Amino acid sequence: MKYTLSVIVLYLCALAGVQAQTIKSGSEWNVSNLVYEATVNTDKTITFRAMAEGEELAFRIKAISGKRNEYWVYQDPSDDCFNPYGEVVRAKLVEQKGWKLLCLYDADNYLHEVLEGSFVGDGEKVAVGKWMGQISGKYTDSYGDVLEIGHEIIYEKGVARAEYKNITFNGCVTGVIEISGLTHLEGMWEVVQTLKGLTLYEVEQDEYGMFTRKSQKEELEWVDDTPRFDYANTILLNDKQFRKMPKPTLRIMRNSILAKHHYMFSSPDLVEYFGSKPWFSPRPSNDDVNDELSLVERLNIELIKCVENCSERN
pLDDT digits (tens, 9 = 90+) for 276-285: 999 999 999 9
| pLDDT at residue 311, rounded to an integer | 57
C-alpha distance from residue 40 to each of 31, 55, 110 (Å) = 19, 22, 26
Q: What is the mean pLDDT of the chain?
A: 90
CA separation for the pair 33, 172 (Å, rounded) = 6
Give the C-alpha separation, 145 to 154, whole Å.
12
234-313 domain in CATH 3.40.1790.10?
no
Please determine, for residue 21, whether its predicted confidence score (pLDDT) is greater than 80. Answer: no
22-116: in CATH 2.40.128 = yes
Q: How many helices, marked H, and strands, marked E, lie in the chain?
A: 6, 16
Answer whether 22-116 and 234-313 agree in fold. no
Among residues 110, 105, 130, 108, the alpha carbon closest in space to that of 34 is found at 130
Q: What is the pLDDT of residue 79?
A: 76
Q: 111 by DSSP, 3-state: which?
A: strand
Residues near 55 by Cβ (< 8 Å), separated by ≥ 6? Answer: 82
- Delimit the domains of the chain by residue range: 22-116, 123-222, 234-313
**pLDDT (tens digit per residue) in 91-105:** 999 999 899 999 999
Residue 185 DSSP label: G
Q: What is the pLDDT of residues 164-191, one digit of tens each?
A: 999 998 889 999 999 999 889 999 999 9
* 21 neighbors 28 (Cβ within 8 angstroms): no
What's the chain's length in residues? 314
Phi, psi of 38 (to 5 degrees): -90, 140
DSSP type of residue 188? E
Give the chain's radius of gyration (CA, Å).
23
Q: At what angle do helices 295-313 and 247-259 cross, to 10 degrees?
A: 160
